[in-house]
Chains A and B, each alone.
Chain A
Amino acid sequence: MTDEQYAREYGHHLVEEVLKGKMTRRQLIVRASVFGLSATVVGQLLAACGSSGGGGTATTPSASASAPAVVTGGTLKAVIPPPLKTLDPVTIYDQGGIVLVYQVAEYLIDLSNTNALVPKLALTWKPNQKGDVWTFTLRQGVTFNDGSPFEAADVVASIERVINPKSGSGALAALAGILSPGHTKAVDTHTVEFDLDKPFADFPYLVSSSSYNTAILPRNYDNDFQKKPVGTGPWMIKKFVTNQSVTMVKNPSYWGKDAQGRQLPYLDSLEFVLVTDAPPANLQLQNHQVDVQPQTVFQGGASVLNDPNLRVDVYPSSGIREVAFNINKAPWQDKNLRQAVAYCLDRNAINKALYGGRSNLGYDTFWEPTVFPGSPTPAVRAQDYDKAKSLLSAAGHANGIDVTLTVANYLENPAYAQLIASQCKPAGINVKINEISYNAIYAGSNSTTPWLNAPMVIVEWGSRPTPGVYAQAMLLPTSAWSSSHWNNPDFVTAFNSYESTTDESTRSTLATKLSQIQQDDTPILVAFFISQLRTQWKNVYGIQGPGSFYFNAAQAYIAK
Chain B
Amino acid sequence: MARFIGRRLLLMVPTLVLVSILVFALSEILPGDLGRFILGPYASQSAVTQLDHKLGFDKPIYVRYFEWAGHFVTGHWGTSYQYTNLSVFSIVEHALGNSLLLAGFALVIIVPTSIAVGVFAGLRRDSLLDRIITVSSLSMTVIPEFVSGVILIVIFAVELNWLPASATPPVGSPFVDRFYYLILPAIPLMLLELGYIARMARAGTVQVLNQPYIRTATLKGLPQRRVVFSHVLRNALVPTVTVIGSQVGWLIGGLVVIETVFVYPGIGNYTVHAALNHDQPLLEACVLVIAVIYMVSNLVADVVVALLNPRIRKSS
Contact = CB atoms under 8 A, between A and B. Distances in A.
A/B touching: CB–CB < 8 A: yes
Contacts of B247: none
B212 interface: no
B266 to A, nearest CB: 10
Given A86-B82, A245-B171, A439-B31, A284 B166 contact: yes
Interface string A425-445: 000000000000101101111
Given A173-B43, A243-B269, A244-B265, 12 more contacts: A85-B82, A86-B84, A166-B50, A168-B38, A226-B84, A275-B263, A280-B260, A286-B165, A289-B165, A437-B31, A440-B31, A444-B33
A170 interface: yes
Contact of A244 (B43, B168, B261): B168
A148 interface: no
A442 B86 contact: no
B157 A287 contact: yes
Contact of B166 (A172, A242, A280, A437): A280
A241 B43 contact: no
Interface string B219-261: 0000000000000000000000000000000000000000011
Contacts of A84: 37, 82, 277
7 contacts: A86-B85, A165-B47, A167-B47, A226-B85, A242-B91, A280-B262, A283-B157
B45 interface: yes
Contacts of B263: 275-277, 280-281, 284
B32 A93 contact: no
A247 B42 CA distance: 29
B46 interface: yes
Nearest to A241: B171
Nearest to A281: B263
A86 B81 CA distance: 9
B36 A443 contact: yes
A482 to B, nearest CB: 13
A416 B45 CA distance: 29
A76 interface: no
B40 interface: yes
Interface string A169-181: 1101110000000
Interface residues of B, number: 44
B46 to A, nearest CB: 6
A227 interface: yes
Contact of A247 (B39, B86, B91, B171): B171
Interface residues of A, number: 49
A442 B36 contact: yes
A451 interface: yes
Interface in B26-56: 30-33, 36-48, 50-51
Given A86-B84, A283-B165, A289-B165, A446 B47 contact: no
Contacts of A446: 45
B40 A93 contact: yes
A453 interface: no
A168 B50 contact: yes
B84 A85 contact: yes
B164 interface: yes
Interface in B151-202: 153, 157-158, 161, 164-166, 168, 170-171
Contact of A239 (B39, B168, B171): B171
B40 A287 contact: no
B164 A93 contact: no
Interface in B1-48: 30-33, 36-48
Interface in B262-316: 262-263, 265, 269-270, 276-277
B65 interface: no
B271 to A, nearest CB: 13
Nearest to B150: A279
A287 B161 contact: yes
Contacts of B269: 243
A287 B84 CA distance: 34
Nearest to B98: A244
A93 B42 contact: yes
Contacts of B161: 287
B168 A227 contact: no
A440 B32 CA distance: 6
A94 interface: yes
Interface of B: 30-33, 36-48, 50-51, 82-86, 91, 153, 157-158, 161, 164-166, 168, 170-171, 260-263, 265, 269-270, 276-277
Given A84-B82, A86-B83, A280-B262, A481 B42 contact: yes
A173 B42 contact: yes
A91 interface: yes
B196 to A, nearest CB: 27
Interface in A233-253: 239, 241-245, 247
A364 interface: no
Contacts of A92: 40
Contacts of B165: 280, 283-284, 286-287, 289
Nearest to B181: A289
A170 B265 contact: no
Interface string A75-106: 00000000011100001111000000000000
A167 B48 CA distance: 10
A170 B33 CA distance: 17
Nearest to B85: A226
B157 A443 contact: no
A245 B166 CA distance: 13
Most buried by A among B36, B38, B41, B161: B41
Interface string A504-545: 000000000000000000000000000000000000000000
A278 to B, nearest CB: 11
Contacts of B277: 84, 439
A226 B161 CA distance: 36
Contacts of A444: 31, 33
Contacts of A239: 171
A165 B48 CA distance: 10
A499 interface: no
A166 B35 CA distance: 13
A132 interface: no
B31 A91 contact: no
Nearest to B46: A165
Most buried by B among A92, A94, A284: A284
B85 A170 contact: no
Nearest to B48: A168
A170 B39 CA distance: 8
Contacts of A227: 85
Contacts of B51: 168
A283 B47 contact: no
Q: Which 4 A-B pairs have the closest CB atoms?
A: A170-B42, A168-B47, A93-B40, A283-B165
B41 A451 contact: yes
